[in-house]
Structure 1
Amino acid sequence: MITNPTPQRSLRGHQPQRPSQRTAVTSGYVAQLATRMTERDRWLARVLYEHRVLTTHQIVEMAWPSVRAANMRLLRLYRWRLIDRFQPFVTYGTAPMHYVLDLAGASLLAREDGLDLRDLDYRHDRAIGVAYSLHLAHTVGTNGFFSALVAHSRRPDTSGRLTTWWSETRCARHFGDIVRPDAYGLWHEHSPVPTAFEWFLEFDFGSERPDRVGRKLAGYAKLAATTGIITPVLIWVPTARREARVRQALAAALADLDDPSLVPVATSSADFLSGHDNDPTAARWQPLDVRQPLTRRLRLTELTHAWPHLPPLNSSSSDPAQASGDVTSGPLPPSPVPPGPSDRRPQR
């Protein structure tokens, strides 16, 4: 029998005091909040608006020097209602904190871009509702792929940089009538030879049959024929066994296309992460070429040599937004890499 039970008040600390929803969207509060924001805070708000949800680990590896420094600032931004947070339930262990954009943050973004809050198509209940979405793990996994690329871009010894990162929502806005990729990325390598590589990402958790994954290639072929731009498709799968099955389905789908060269495809799996320190740019990608199969894995920028028919990305025609002919309203996609240390002014 427990003779000294824990008092109820000790089971959970007090929630931090936060402004009400009505206060968080007033012009006076947003103007006061703007004086406290650093460039990195504004960058985080835009990234959360674009990509919906990020974990503590992803935010730290993209923009903060340590977990402690990030948690201190994230707590302050949470109290100001720039961001909101939740912690999903997991069967084993403890899930990291997940962050989404809150009302004050959305209001700040809208006013900075000369828009009304309703122009952002933002609702707080929908933003925090991602906590109950059946696609939460998929969204977090896709964002984790690109947060690793951002972390690689920030390393002092790297010669490459992630310059563009589009969310699934933005991709659907431009190409949704033809194909719906999980994300779009553009990587620039500066040495030894300046090169650029763009791709659509299909992040596969093994929830779809391999033949359904293969059927997506027909949409990418149609997109390439419509825009006149051939964009490679990178497919990430959880295991090497799953990758082998998916590659068989992809090979069959490519064989059914009138022009398979319109859809360059490469695959990789999480089994190749441990040896490369979670670096998506490392030699872990295997192009799909039935005629000349490669036995070794290629680096991200080496994939351009696997498809010599791809034109170099040195003109405005390589911009998928311009090629789609779609001019969208709302904020432009933020820079994937946060502002440098010189742009981070301490605020109280």
Structure 2
Amino acid sequence: MGRARQVRAHPINVTGEVERLTEQDERIVRLVAEHDVFSTEQLAALCFERADRPADALPRLRYLATRALLIKYEHPGTHPAGFPGDDLDDAPPAGLPDPAPDAWPDGKRWVWSLGQGGAYWAGVEHILNRHAWFEAWTRSFNPHRRPHIRRRLAFNGFFAALHQRSLTVPDSGLDQWWGPQRCAEVSGGQLAPDAHGRWRQRGATVPFWLYSDYVRNPMRTLVGTVEQHVRVHRATAETDVILLVMVNDNREALLHQRWASYAPTGAPVPRVATTSYSKLRAWPTDAIWWPINPPIDAHPGSPARAERLHHLDWPATLRPLGGRT
């Protein structure tokens, strides 16, 4: 007698759940697909009415998790690997309203990434390419064992804060936000930026690319990444700003000191500004951006002054710094 056939159907009818997605649900799942992982606070600010009450977002997020569209696990913090932990992990998300006292009914903070159903939907909707879809599907089985999850949370918090800022500041807006997959695709796979955005405020528009520092990476590698970015995106090199987020303040200061020795001699310095993870967590639109080579007439007598994000829109006619030959 032949062996009885085993039915290995998924316990959730994924197709049926996808058909029941609301417009808000689709926005949530699309954001998580494009940007990998979000905290409850970030999704509350991006997709719900009350950013100061993330607990109000929990019932819908939990529902999406029970239907395999999302998965949840405990918040790991927002410091990248190699960054010493401090009280920022327990501080309210930068740039977002302070959560109401009853924000965490169960006493835990959660983060959310794609479940199997969400990965299926993102593939059907062509939000994820085949390789990214397979990665998302695989990660859904071990979501907490993922590299760079803290870095993704830090950068997604930065963009959530920009979105929240646009709701309270007149004539401002986050007009563009690309995740790492789309950034890599537009460069033909030659670059791996963490994100791309376009911030508008007070008549100034700043398109920018975010790159993360790694504690084990030589600083020369960062300078080489900037040079390669300018070569790949030569058409927009005079308008785009490259933002480097350094592991800590000491590495940031050291990069500024050594940039001239790593860069080609006589070559114009691209539009580059730096900050550190601790300052990024403080407030992303504040004066936390330190230009590598500021405009000559920007602040007479104070060429190294930190700038706000919307002040990084000067023309790219920068003087060259001396460097390697």
How far did residue 284 of structure 1 move? 1.6
1:244 CA displacement: 0.3
TM normalised by structure 2 equals 0.72
CA distance in 2, matches of 1:49, 1:308: 34
Question: How far apart are the structure 2 equivalents of 1:264 and 1:129?
Answer: 39
Q: Please report how far the alpha carbon of residue 58 of structure 1 lies from its aligned counterpart in structure 2 after TM superposition.
A: 1.9
In the aligned structure 1, how far is the partner of 2:190 from the partner of 2:129? Answer: 30
- Contact 2:76–2:150 (8 Å) recurs in 1: no
Aligned equivalent of 1:259: 267
Aligned mate of 1:105, from 111, 114, 118? 118
* Pair 1:22 & 2:10 matched: yes
Higher helix share: 1
Identity of aligned residues (%): 23
Secondary structure of 1:184's aligned partner = strand
Between the aligned partners of 1:116 and 1:291, the Cα distance in structure 2 is 40
Which of 272, 279, 283 matches 1:279?
Answer: 283
Q: What amino acid does structure 2 have at the position aligned with 1:280?
A: P
Instruction: Judge which range, 98-107 or 67-76, deviates more.
Output: 98-107
Q: Give 1:172's aligned residue.
A: 184
Q: In the alignment, is residue 269 of structure 1 matched against residue 276 of structure 2?
A: yes
Matches of 2:252 and 2:108 in 1, distance apart?
A: 27
> In the aligned structure 1, how far is the partner of 2:41 from the partner of 2:12?
27
Whether 1:202 aligns to 2:217 is no
Q: Look up the SS of the partner of 2:151 in the other structure.
A: helix
CA distance 1:284–1:210, change in 2 (3 Å): same
Q: Which amino acid aligns with 1:99?
A: W
Q: Map 1:110-125; keep pairs closer than 5 Å.
A: 113=125, 121-122=133-134, 123-125=136-138
Aligned to 1:86, which of 73, 78, 91?
Answer: 73
Cα separation, 2, equivalents of 1:78 and 1:136: 19
Equivalent runs, 1:212-231 vs 2, <5 Å: 212-225=221-234, 227=235, 229-230=237-238, 231=240
Q: Shift of residue 48 of structure 1?
A: 0.6
Structure 1, unmatched stretches of 5+, are 1-19, 311-348
Report the secondary structure of 1:81's partner residue: coil
- Following superposition, the deviation at residue 110 of structure 1 comes to 5.0
* 1:41-56 mapped onto 2 (5 Å cutoff): 41-56=25-40
Partner SS state of residue 22, structure 1: coil
> Structure 2 vs 1, CA of residues 249 and 211 (structure 1 numbering), >3 Å: closer, same or farther?
farther
Note closer, same or farther for the CA distance 1:240–1:200 as it changes in structure 2 (3 Å cut): same
- Rounded to whole Å, the distance in 2 between the matches of 1:119 and 1:210 is 30
Which of 68, 72, 83 aligns to 2:59? It is: 72
Query: What are structure 2's unaligned runs of at least 5 residues?
Result: 1-7, 78-84, 91-106, 297-301, 319-325
- Tell me what 1:288 maps to: 292
1:68–1:243 distance in 2 versus 1, CA, 3 Å:
same
Q: Is the 8 A contact 1:182 1:203 kept in 2?
A: yes
Equivalent-residue separation in structure 2 for 1:114 and 1:235 (angstroms): 30
Change in CA separation of 1:213 and 1:110 when aligned onto 2, cut-off 3 Å? closer
What is the Cα deviation at residue 196 of structure 1? 1.4
**Considering only aligned residues, what root-mean-square deviation do their CA atoms show, in Å?**
3.3
2:113 aligned counterpart, secondary structure = strand
Tell me how far 1:203 sits from its aligned partner.
2.2
Q: Deviations over 1:19-40 (max 9, x none)?
A: x972545534432x23xx2x22
What code does the residue aligned with 2:27 have? W
* Paired amino acid for 1:162: L
Cα 1:44–1:250, aligned 2, differ >3 Å: closer, same or farther?
farther
2:99 aligns with none
**Shift, 1:212, TM fit:** 2.2
SS at match of 2:306: coil
For the pair 1:300 / 2:312, whether they are aligned, the reply is no
Separation (CA, whole Å) in 2 of partners of 1:216 and 1:116 = 25
Q: 1:172 to 1:308 in 2, by over 3 A?
A: closer
Question: Contact (CA 8 Å) 2:163, 2:173: kept in 1 or not?
Answer: yes
Q: Which residue of 1 aligns with 2:147?
A: 134
What is the SS of the residue equivalent to 2:286?
Answer: coil
**Alpha-carbon deviations, 1:200-222, whole Å to 9, x = none?**
11122534232222221221231
Task: Say whether residues 1:151 and 2:164 are aligned partners.
Answer: yes
Query: What's the secondary structure of 1:131's corresponding residue?
Result: coil
Q: What residue identity is the alignment partner of 1:240?
A: D
TM-score, normalised on structure 1? Answer: 0.68
Asked whether the equivalents of residues 181 and 201 of structure 1 are also in contact (C-alpha less than 8 Å), the reply is: yes
**Is the 2:36–2:113 Cα contact (8 Å) retained in structure 1?**
yes
Q: Secondary structure at the match of 1:222?
A: helix
Instruction: Report the secondary structure of 2:313's partner residue.
Output: helix
